[in-house]
């Protein structure tokens, strides 16, 4: 549905299909990873869910190099149960590669 817009969703944006539709819309109507994320957030509603799905799609479409360092350098993910250890971008990329085979 090339003319579909998130305003046409019949359920809240956090529901499966409206969320996916909004994420695809954000990707199709923008030209960069960052713009897609911003468009998803600007829709309002369940912004964290829609932006997360958009980020996954945009990352797959544009590739890792399209994500600006200012979005990844401050990454600092606490690892519960690991005595204060944190995951940084390099750790998460390593884990993703191992999980991906």
Residue ranges of the annotated binding site for Mg(2+) are: 46, 48-49
Compute the distance between CA of residue 13 and CA of residue 49 in angstroms, rounded to an integer.
8
Compute the distance between CA of residue 45 and CA of residue 48 in angstroms, rounded to an integer.
9
CA–chain centroid gap for 46, Å, is: 13
């Amino acid at each position: 549905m090339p003319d579909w817009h998130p305003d046409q969703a019949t359920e809240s944006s956090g529901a499966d299909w409206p969320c996916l539709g909004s994420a695809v819309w954000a990707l199709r109507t923008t030209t960069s990873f960052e713009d897609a994320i911003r468009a998803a957030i600007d829709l309002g509603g369940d912004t964290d869910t829609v932006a997360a799905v958009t980020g996954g799609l945009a990352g797959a479409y544009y590739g890792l190099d399209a994500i600006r360092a200012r979005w990844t350098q401050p990454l600092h993910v606490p690892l519960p149960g690991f005595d204060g250890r944190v995951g940084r971008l390099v750790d998460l990329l390593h884990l993703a590669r191992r999980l991906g085979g």
